[in-house]
Amino acid sequence: MTMIIDGTNGLTFNDASTQTKAGLVVGTASPLVSGTAVASTSGTSIDFTSIPSWVKKITIVYAGVSTNGSSSPLIQIGPSSAVETTGYISTGIITGAGTATISSTAGFVLFGDDANDTNSGIATIVNISGNSWVYSQAGKITTNKGTFGGGDKTVASTLSRVRITTVSGTGTFDAGSINILYE
């Protein structure tokens, strides 16, 4: 499907593969696709797989998520074969009632956590070119703390999967819900 935008006629769609009319911007429409929300109430990781090769932006949404310990949740990405566990540059910061900084080379730091906190927010991973991805996150912990973070990672081949786990890899999820949107 081709999307055409011009200043006079607005937005139109058609099946033509190319347009040559002067003044038009021509591009390919990419749908916004929602994954299936997963209850983050057990287990040490949550996987979203079979992400299509045309995806350029992945948004992770999480609400009321908690783990049973003090290991911060982490996002890992990778090709169809497996998530990659090295080569990330990532930092997360908690502000509010106390400030803490968490860095990782094993994944993107999603937020800080302890067993008494629930966490909600949005994390975005965007393709910058080729297999290089940049990461940004903002959210809240309980009622008096905010979180934000960023990072980047180049994967070995086309990104196809996202995993939410913990820095230790052994922390267990015990509350909340996580989903992804991609486009």
The model's pTM is: 0.82
Whether 24 and 40 share a structural domain: no
Whether 22 and 54 share a structural domain: no
Whether 95 and 124 share a structural domain: yes
Beta strands in the chain (DSSP E): 2-6, 10-14, 25-28, 33-34, 38-39, 46-48, 57-67, 73-78, 89-96, 100-104, 108-109, 119-129, 132-141, 145-154, 161-166, 173-182
Full pLDDT tens readout for the chain, 183 residues: 455 555 555 555 555 444 445 555 566 667 899 999 999 999 999 999 999 999 999 999 999 998 887 777 899 999 999 999 999 999 998 888 778 888 999 999 887 656 678 889 999 999 999 999 999 999 998 778 899 999 999 999 999 999 999 888 888 899 999 999 999
The pLDDT of residue 18: 47
Whether 13 and 52 share a structural domain: no
| Structure tokens that stand for 58 in this block | 């992945």
Whether 76 and 155 share a structural domain: yes
Whether 56 and 128 share a structural domain: yes
The pLDDT of residue 141: 87
Whether 17 and 57 share a structural domain: no
Domain count, the chain: 2
The pLDDT of residue 156: 97
Whether 55 and 18 share a structural domain: no
